[in-house]
Amino acid sequence: MKFKGHGLKILMPSLLLLPDNAQAMHISEGILPFNWALFWFIVAAPFMVWGLYELKKRSSTDISFKPLVGLLAAVVFIISCMPIPVPTAGTCSHPCGTGISGILLGPAISILISAVALLIQALFLAHGGLTTWGANIVAMGIMGSIAGFLTFKLLRSLKMNMAVSGFMAGLFADWATYLTTSVELASGIRGDSPFLPLFWKILIAFIPTQLPLGILEGAMTSGMVVLIYKKRPDLLVKMRVLKAEEVRV
């Protein structure tokens, strides 16, 4: 699938007339040409290996770690199963959940559980696709998890409270996902057209849905982190989110 010259002019009406494809979650099956689909698989592969390594290492010293990973995987799966179609972008807006998993488990494990959630959705719910699995892992799993994790750590190092740190981590994890998705779509479908004009059109198409969804995800992330902090701060220490001296007496 390769669009040349006026590929965008051909693509946009087609997507509007094909709601089944547009409503498929994440980047839809068949949207990306083979070379770009393969490229994103190659990008995602080392991060998957990193996630498997971290899972093996941490579960070998803590038998309760794998059940916790399973619980967070279910959270990410459920949160990211709330699609709002964006027909003009060939994909959907939705919350991601990677801000929460990135904060609580670290980016490596968060990437791994995002990949599992995306694979199950592609296989059984027709959300996303198998050929675009790598691209969706990069956008939601890698960029979302790392953005959420780094934002939380940065704000905590600046002595920001848990509520604000959690909110901004969830917000930026969500927005990083859709910024990356816009890059992936523009790169894959532009053909001979310039990259930047198409990128901006796709990014702007996301704004009406993703702006409020990012704020909602920030609120959800903040609420979960604060709840655990108030009820079970020892879990945050165990999961390496906080140091023991940071926990209130």
91 forms beta bridges with 86
Q: Which pLDDT belongs to residue 12? A: 38
Q: Per the domain annotation, does 245 fall within a domain? A: no
How deeply is 171 buried, as exposed, middle or buried, from its count of CB atoms within 10 A (0-12, 13-18, 19+)? buried
Q: Per the domain annotation, does 94 fall within a domain? A: yes
Q: Per the domain annotation, does 68 fall within a domain? A: yes
Pair of tokens at residue 1 = 């699938």
In the chain, the number of structural domains is 1
Which residues of the chain register pLDDT less than 70? Answer: 1-25, 83-93, 245, 248-249
CATH code of the domain in which 158 resides: 1.10.1760.20
Q: Which pLDDT belongs to residue 165? A: 95
Which value, in Å, is the radius of gyration of the alpha carbons in the chain? Answer: 18
Q: Per the domain annotation, does 83 fall within a domain? A: yes
pTM above 0.85, yes or no: no
The span from the CA of 88 to the CA of 206, in Å, is 9
Q: Which pLDDT belongs to residue 122? A: 87
Residue 28 half-sphere exposure toward CB, CA atoms < 13 A: 22
Q: Which pLDDT belongs to residue 4? A: 43
Q: Which pLDDT belongs to residue 168? A: 96
Residues listed for the chain: 249
Q: Which pLDDT belongs to residue 26? A: 76
Beta-carbon contacts of residue 230 (< 8 Å; ≥ 6 apart): none
Q: Which pLDDT belongs to residue 110? A: 95
Q: Which pLDDT belongs to residue 88? A: 53
Q: Which pLDDT belongs to residue 48? A: 95
CA distances in angstroms from 22 to 15, 90, 146, 209, listed in the order given: 6, 5, 27, 15
Give the domain range for residue 167: 7-240
Q: Per the domain annotation, does 246 fall within a domain? A: no
Q: Which pLDDT belongs to residue 11? A: 37
Q: Is the dihedral of CA 151, 152, 153, 154 positive or negative?
A: positive
Q: Which pLDDT belongs to residue 145? A: 95
Question: 216 by DSSP, 3-state: which?
Answer: helix
Pair of tokens at residue 137 = 């892992």
Q: Angle at the Cα of 208 (from 32 to 5), degrees rounded to 5?
A: 35
Q: Per the domain annotation, does 247 fall within a domain? A: no
Q: Which of 138, 122, 112 is nearest to 28 (CA)?
A: 122
Q: Per the domain annotation, does 134 fall within a domain? A: yes
Q: Per the domain annotation, does 1 fall within a domain? A: no
The span from the CA of 217 to the CA of 3, in Å, is 34
Q: Which pLDDT belongs to residue 243? A: 76
